[in-house]
Structure 1
Amino acid sequence: MSTSDDRFADRIEREITIAAPVERVWAVLTEPEHVGRWFGQGTPAPVDLRPGGIMHLDHGAYGQFPTTIVTVDPPRHFSYRWASAYPGEAATEGNSTLVEFTLTPEGEGTRLRVVETGFADIVIPEDKRDSASQESHTKGWTDMVGNIREYVERLGA
């Protein structure tokens, strides 16, 4: 029998409000010049923005990650598969988690919700646990949504 906590054991969820319109937040999440700034080393990230397309994330010392785009519904929903335990490998259902971004207008700003699921369905090698486990991503997304908000709001200044 599962407990009510079991449904959260495989899920990371972060939600923030950003003082910018959804179109600007969408651009930051999906356009090469912006993705490379908030999740990367500052250089443009190649993005083939379509379901099945590849977005290359440069996570510095942790490696290069060719994520597989799953959903593109501008400017409301964007998702991709990320094989964070397997740098350099294309993300598939068998080696990756699903990262979903949902953007909702809220007054003059945007509510951004980020959900990552699927850790229980993949094998994470012991030498990658520090960078690819649910625990490491829980802290990572806290930092990342802060980076996204700061970057988006700075663009509008």
Structure 2
Amino acid sequence: MNKEHVEKDRVEKEITIAAPVERVWAVLTEPEHVGSWFGQGEPTPVDLRPGGTMILDHGEYGLFRTTIVEVDPPHRFSYRWASAYPGEQAVDGNSTLVEFTLVPEGDGTRLKVVEAGFASIAIPEERRDTASYESHEGGWTDQVVNIRKYAEQLPA
């Protein structure tokens, strides 16, 4: 595997949020919060357990049935996301793995987001603009800022 191929398999973003770990955890996992920073403002259905489903409403791009992989409150949360296949349940073979790691930093939180597995899935040509490594590299740049702004404006 060449170096460029490896680099295009994994998106990593880190951001510091002026909010406690517990609040950032709630923002990432509770229906009303996920629906606000990621979705269309409506509560997101979340079955918060390994094997459970969280449905992400990405508006014009479709509904995504993620499969929750790890729930370790309030430090680690991960799910599989079939961003190239709206409507399908995310499973091995059609999805990437999105991992959130939350670490207390003073009164705030350092949030790390990693999405990996782009190189191992087939992305239909008509979905490349919204499901490719390149689109998610930019997408997560925006989303971590959305998460920070949203978490910081919530009442303590």
Scaled by the length of structure 1, the TM-score of the pair is: 0.96
* SS of equivalent residue, structure 2 residue 41: coil
* SS of equivalent residue, structure 2 residue 40: coil
Show the counterpart of 1:21. Answer: 20
Cα distance in structure 1, aligned partners of 2:110 and 2:23: 12
The count of aligned residue pairs is 156
Matched, 1:99 2:93: no
Show the counterpart of 1:108. Answer: 107
Structure 1: 5+ residue stretches without partners: none
- 8 Å CA contact 2:33–2:43 kept in 1: the answer is yes
- Report how far residue 6 of structure 1 moved: 4.9
Show the counterpart of 1:153. Answer: 152
Structure 2: 5+ residue stretches without partners: none
RMSD over aligned CA atoms reads 1.2
- Report how far residue 111 of structure 1 moved: 0.0
Show the counterpart of 2:83. Answer: 84
Show the counterpart of 1:61. Answer: 60
Scaled by the length of structure 2, the TM-score of the pair is: 0.97
Cα distance in structure 2, aligned partners of 1:9 and 1:45: 29
Cα distance in structure 2, aligned partners of 1:54 and 1:9: 27
Show the counterpart of 2:45. Answer: 46
Q: Which runs of 4 or more aligned residues in structure 1 lie more than 2 Å from their structure 2 counterparts after TM superposition? A: 5-9
Cα distance in structure 1, aligned partners of 2:100 and 2:142: 15
